[in-house]
A and B are shown apart, each in its own frame.
Chain A
Amino acid sequence: MENFALPTEDLYSPEIATITRVETLTESEKRFEIRMPGEKALNHKPGQFVEVSIFGFGEAPISICSSPTRGPLFELTVRATGRLTDKMHLLSEGSQIGIRGPFGNGFDPGAFKGKDILFVCGGIGLAPLKSLIDYTLDRREDFGRIIILYGTRNPSEILFPEEIKTWQSRKDVEFAITVDQASEEWQGNVGVITTLIPGLELDVKNTIVTVVGPPVMYKFVLMSLKGKRIPDENIYLSLERRMKCGVGKCGHCQINDTYVCQDGPVYHYPRVKQLEEAI
């Protein structure tokens, strides 16, 4: 029988954290730097998320976009799309917000040591991957090539221009960007993100691929990777689902038999390949 005397957890009470910096990235995306009470470190892994809340406006899962290697403050990039996220865009430095987490499994960068890493980032999918990108750049000697592919709908939606400039200038980072629709000034690649994949020269056996983007992107990226003969075992995806609790109870995030908030959001591709509802 269940032993009810064992310790229990208060799962739904947020900690009240403080916004220490707000940066407008695009028309609909802002980056927030956040300090936990007592400047406590969040102790997250790249790829994990927190449940952010504002009283009266609800909660939402948001990926942590900064690397745990960068000190106790952490960053979130938020697209305004509804009740909570719209309200969050009205907050400024010094405002308080609720944080629960970190939740989910995240990436295990230790397992990628010595490997080349290919990042495939679609739209706001760059935010969760930036955490892992920064991590690998901070431990640069632990990894082989670092290749970042980034696709957005148009040039005005490009996130993190500062970071991108750094990545473009570093000799030890290969960075390529493409937009679905060019503007007049745009001189770079035009086309969906999969157009960047065929031209890559990869040591396929030794390359880990991490993919994060909007739901429609996965199928096409996976097809291109297959075309490059990247083994399934080398591919990791982060999946987005509706979430409420973040702790494996409410059922909203379930894909077949797996709970994204617990077993994900980062999945080893072979785990979800056969799941009809996953991709």
Chain B
Amino acid sequence: MNALEEKLNRFVKYRISEEDVRLLIDHLKQKAPVYAPHNSGEASFSYELVEKSTDVVLQYPRTMQPIKKFFLPPKEVLLNFNIKDNTYSKPEVPEETRIFFGIHSYEMASLKRLDYSFTQGHRESNYISRRKYAIFVGISYEPDESHFSKSVGIDVEETEGFDLFLLKNDTGYFLLEITETGKKLLDGYKENLVPDREELKLEPLRFKSKIKYHHNRLPSVFDHVYKSKVWEKYAEICVGCGTCNLLCSTCYCFDIRDEVELDAEHGSRTRYWDGCMLNTFAEVAGGENFRGSLARRTRHRLYRKFRYITAKSEMLHCVGCGRCSHYCPVGISMTDIVNDLIADHEEKQKREKI
């Protein structure tokens, strides 16, 4: 038994059918609003409030927008103001219990990164209010050609952060009780279920996308590739659209803008997701731009994932969800960039030895 199997085998678990999973959703809906993946167009998925448990998609590769949208909304009014009287009010941020159902392990890992970003230094009330009472039900998934979370140290069956976890098996799912909160949620649901005592054995999952090095070695690779020519290689094809930032599970940079209503009296100070790949991101008065080239911006994006915050938080800030690769309009893949950097680094080391 490997360490992960050992950990999973310590949890109380039940064997349930897909039908039972839908009943579980109905059960949870009576406790709090439930958000789960839904179809949103062809081969596209999105987390939405569950109306009917039969609408929920249980097996899906990834949603387009990451789960951060519930804690750091794409658009968020920070203040409503009145220009004439110079007064404002801050919209109440509800601190409600919400259940997030059918969530993948890399999404949970991304929230751990965002938790870090919004609580180190200043503890931001808006984020924390939304996050505070959130409950998570995880689910295992089949990696597609863009997922590579295993390469950044996150197993498909990683249960950290979840309250309950659904592990797919050949007849349906194992339902695992991870936390006390999770256990309590099952009150009134599991009465007819008997804990399953069978020892779990995980199928070795085959990730099609991989980073060549163990994740522990990645930050040190980034100590040597700042001047690499790899940055130029990708900058040549990148169109600077910023999709890779906006859809990234762990990117949290934002813009703040004042917007005024037609009456020219009322308005709001609103924040929007922003991205360091966009060319105005670091521009200052006088037109000076400290990361004017796409090569510099690509480098900054990757250093933010693998080096800068990692040094302080001791976590890689890429969770291998593969969104940046999957949705990049010109097909730039995160694992390709990192593997090229590794190759470049190895070559340089070889040259230095000779």
Contact = CB atoms under 8 A, between A and B. Distances in A.
A256 interface: yes
Nearest to B128: A8
A234 interface: no
A79 B286 CA distance: 12
B281 A252 contact: yes
B281 A277 contact: no
Interface in A200-257: 214-215, 240-242, 244-245, 247-252, 254-257
Contacts, number: 129
A55 B81 contact: yes
Nearest to B124: A11
B189 interface: no
A82 B283 CA distance: 13
A257 B282 CA distance: 14
A58 B124 contact: no
Interface stretch (B36-44, B115-123, B205-213): B115-123
B6 interface: no
A141 interface: no
A6 B123 contact: yes
A249 B282 contact: no
Given A242-B282, A249-B124, A251-B276, A13 B256 contact: no
Contact of A16 (B86, B132, B281): B86
Interface stretch (B99-107, B137-145, B170-178, B247-255): B247-255
A215 B267 contact: no
Contacts of A245: 254, 256
Interface string B285-301: 11010110000100010
B28 interface: no
B97 interface: no
B118 A249 contact: yes
Interface of A is mostly: loop
B258 A58 contact: yes
B221 interface: no
Nearest to B256: A244
Given A241-B284, A251-B253, A13 B258 contact: no
B131 interface: yes
Nearest to B116: A2
A271 to B, nearest CB: 14
Given A8-B124, A262-B121, A56 B90 contact: no
A117 to B, nearest CB: 27
A57 B79 CA distance: 13
Interface string B122-162: 11111011011000000000000000000000000000010
Q: How large is the interface on A (under 10, 10 to 19, 20 to 34, 35 or more residues)?
A: 35 or more
B257 interface: yes
A56 B88 CA distance: 11
A27 interface: no
Interface in A26-77: 53, 55-59
Interface in B209-231: 226
B288 A215 contact: yes
A8 B288 CA distance: 35
A242 B83 contact: no
A31 B291 CA distance: 31
Contacts of A248: 121-122
Given A241-B282, A244-B256, A250 B86 contact: no
Contacts of A79: 285
Contacts of B257: 58
A249 B132 contact: no
A96 B255 CA distance: 24
Contacts of A247: 121-122, 124
Contacts of A81: 285-286
Nearest to B251: A251
Contacts of A257: 303, 307-308, 311
B251 to A, nearest CB: 8
A244 B254 contact: yes
Nearest to B117: A249
Given A6-B123, A9-B124, A251 B252 contact: yes
B260 interface: yes
A96 B86 contact: yes
Given A10-B125, A241-B282, A242-B283, A56 B267 contact: yes
B274 interface: yes
A13 B290 contact: no
A162 interface: no
A252 B300 CA distance: 12
Nearest to B275: A251
Contacts of B339: none
Interface string B231-272: 000000000000000000000111111101000000101010
A9 B123 contact: yes
5 contacts: A2-B119, A12-B79, A57-B258, A252-B281, A277-B291
Interface of B: 78-79, 81-83, 86-88, 90, 112, 115-119, 121-126, 128-129, 131-132, 161, 226, 252-258, 260, 267, 269, 271, 274, 276, 281-286, 288, 290-291, 296, 300, 303-304, 307-308, 311
Given A252-B282, A257-B311, 11 more contacts: A2-B115, A9-B122, A9-B124, A11-B122, A12-B126, A81-B285, A248-B122, A249-B122, A251-B253, A256-B303, A257-B308
